[in-house]
């Protein structure tokens, strides 16, 4: 890896660290991962793995390790995300340079360094950065292992695949993609390499697979029920009740159907929230005029296949009505950033002015950097005030039911999925779904109002209402 690549990685880490300082209130998924890390640090592994919504344990485990010297759970979780998310640019650089040239590699890496949708996630104590580091690394190493006929690299790539799966269930895709790499570089080394890759990956994944089997009674890739729902749907099962849930994607599908509603939401999320609109035309141009380096068309196809394969289960989620988030599109976007960079290069070449490309990329980076450094979730500062009021009224470690999960972290409480028997109830009023509004009305009749926060109300800050329940003996 060149010195330039490591400099880009350093910049990526610094950008993510600066963005982390602009996070006013943590994300709900950050709360889950930090709760898992806290339980792991206490040796309560089984409880940690079952924290709703179930997620693989690698990022929380790394967070708990870093917490030992850092003495701050939130700082540790963010540090793991910032460092691993920033270092992922090395894989983007290596794949882009291999497919095209140094110019395209640097351009793709700069897009990855500053792209707001990726920076937003890497600035949080969430599992996505850890997953991207091992997924992108495993993808690049898998191709090299087949190309160089290296058993050692095959084992390392399988290790990356297992660690990616320990970060998110989608890490299982690397097994299929290693097979794709073997097919695109067909030879005698491929079949035994696939067997070795599968064996090493299975051996490393076996402890968590056993836990999943013990908990669910089935051999499956995740404690979450959603991968099983997708598999059952392909087997003929139907779940019409899922489409009735009160979430934006479900409403879009119910209103316009899976093709227009789901497809439209997928495209608007990809080109709007993820690629920041501006990069969309250059991605299309990169598809139309990729012009890879001589002999690299198969590697280009490998990257495109990986992005398309990752998108297929996401598209299927609109048919089955399983959860969707624009965060699911970050990995396909990262895989397509080299193609986007190639489109930028083609557009600059048409002007016949060599200085156009660095000027255009620089302008894009400045615009993205401004977005990267904006405050995040300042409208939810009432969460922290509500949590402080709860701590003052009933202390930490109490039973708190909250529709705003970040309150649980700030209040020092564990997740309480069922409101029955709660010692405090927290409702973020503008964000309540239909069933939560009914619950809030019931709680307001039966329990005393502790307060509405922030107090006094501030413009632009969402109101959070807290009720005191019955204290446990």
**pLDDT number for residue 243:** 65
- Same domain? For 209 and 243 the reply is yes
Q: Would you state the pLDDT for residue 86? A: 97
Mean pLDDT by 10 residues, the chain (473 residues): 93 97 92 94 92 91 93 94 97 96 96 96 96 97 96 97 96 96 94 97 96 89 81 74 69 76 85 91 95 94 94 79 83 96 94 89 95 92 94 91 92 86 91 88 92 91 91 54
Instruction: Assess whether 418 and 346 both reside in one domain.
Output: no
Report pLDDT for 241: 66
In-domain check, residue 78: yes
Choose the final residue of a domain: 355, 372, 389. Answer: 372
The reply to whether 230 and 91 lie within a common domain is yes
Same domain, 291 and 182: yes
Residue 28 sits in which domain range? 3-372
Task: State which of 342, 372, 402 marks the end of a domain.
Answer: 372
Q: What pLDDT does residue 218 have?
A: 84
Among 356, 372, 388, where does a domain finish?
Answer: 372
> Of 398, 363, 223, which Cα lies nearest the Cα of 279?
363
Q: Would you state the pLDDT for residue 239? A: 67
Residue 469 has a pLDDT of 85
| Residue 244 lies inside a defined structural domain of this protein | yes
Q: Based on the domain organization, do 281 and 393 belong to the same domain?
A: no
Residue 178 lies in a domain: yes
pLDDT of residue 271: 93
For residue 359, what pLDDT is reported? 94
Please state the φ and ψ torsions of residue 307, each to the nearest 5 degrees: -65, -45
Q: Is residue 364 a part of any domain in this protein? A: yes
- Does pTM top 0.75 for this prediction? yes
Residues 246 and 289 in one domain: yes
473, part of any domain: no
**How many structural domains is the chain composed of?**
2
- Answer yes or no: do 142 and 219 share one domain: yes
Are residues 402 and 460 located together in one domain of the fold? yes
Q: 145 in a domain, yes or no?
A: yes
Q: Are residues 355 and 245 in the same domain?
A: yes
Based on the fold, state whether residues 276 and 409 are members of the same structural domain.
Answer: no
Pair 315, 456 in one domain: no
What does the pLDDT read at residue 365?
95
Q: Do 231 and 198 have their domain in common?
A: yes
């Amino acid at each position: 890896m060149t010195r330039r690549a490591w400099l880009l990685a350093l910049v990526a880490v610094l950008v993510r660290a600066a963005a982390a300082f602009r996070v006013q209130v943590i994300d709900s998924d950050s709360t889950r991962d930090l709760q898992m890390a806290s339980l792991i640090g206490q040796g309560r592994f089984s409880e940690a793995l079952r924290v709703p919504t179930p997620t693989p344990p690698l990022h929380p485990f790394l967070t708990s390790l870093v917490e030992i010297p850092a003495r701050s759970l939130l700082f540790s979780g963010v540090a793991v995300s910032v460092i691993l998310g920033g270092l992922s640019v090395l894989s983007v650089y290596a794949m882009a340079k291999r497919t095209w040239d140094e110019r395209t590699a640097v351009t793709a890496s700069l897009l990855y360094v500053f792209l707001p949708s990726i920076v937003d996630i890497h600035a949080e104590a969430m599992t996505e950065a850890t997953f991207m580091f091992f997924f992108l690394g495993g993808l690049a190493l898998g191709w090299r292992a087949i190309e160089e006929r290296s058993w050692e690299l095959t084992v390392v790539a399988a290790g990356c695949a297992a660690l990616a799966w320990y970060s998110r269930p989608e890490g299982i895709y690397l097994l299929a993609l290693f097979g794709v790499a073997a097919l695109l570089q067909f030879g005698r080394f491929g079949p035994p390499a696939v067997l070795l890759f599968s064996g090493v990956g299975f051996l490393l994944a076996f402890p968590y697979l056993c836990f999943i089997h013990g908990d669910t009674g089935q051999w499956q890739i995740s404690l979450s029920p959603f991968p099983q729902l997708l598999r059952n749907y392909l087997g003929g099962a139907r779940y019409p009740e899922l489409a009735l849930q009160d979430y934006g994607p479900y409403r879009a599908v119910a209103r316009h159907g899976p093709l227009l509603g789901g497809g439209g939401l997928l495209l608007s999320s990809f080109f709007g929230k993820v690629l920041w609109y501006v990069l969309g035309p250059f991605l299309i141009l990169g598809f139309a005029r990729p012009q890879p380096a001589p002999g690299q068309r198969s590697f280009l196809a490998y990257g495109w296949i990986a992005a398309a394969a990752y998108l297929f289960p996401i598209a299927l989620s609109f048919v089955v009505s399983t959860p969707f988030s624009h965060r699911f599109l970050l990995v396909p976007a990262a895989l397509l950033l080299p193609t986007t960079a190639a489109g930028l290069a083609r557009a600059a070449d048409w002007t016949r002015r060599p200085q156009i490309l660095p000027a255009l990329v620089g302008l894009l980076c400045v615009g993205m950097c401004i977005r990267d450094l904006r405050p995040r979730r300042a409208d939810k500062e009432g969460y922290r005030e509500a949590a402080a009021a709860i701590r003052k009224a009933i202390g930490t470690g109490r039973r708190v039911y909250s529709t705003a999960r970040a309150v649980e972290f700030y209040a020092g409480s564990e997740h309480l999925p069922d409101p029955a028997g709660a010692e405090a109830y927290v409702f973020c009023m503008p964000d309540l779904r239909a069933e939560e509004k009914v619950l809030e009305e019931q709680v307001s009749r039966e329990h005393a109002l502790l307060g509405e926060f922030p107090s006094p109300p501030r413009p632009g800050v969402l109101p959070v209402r807290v009720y005191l329940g019955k204290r446990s003996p």
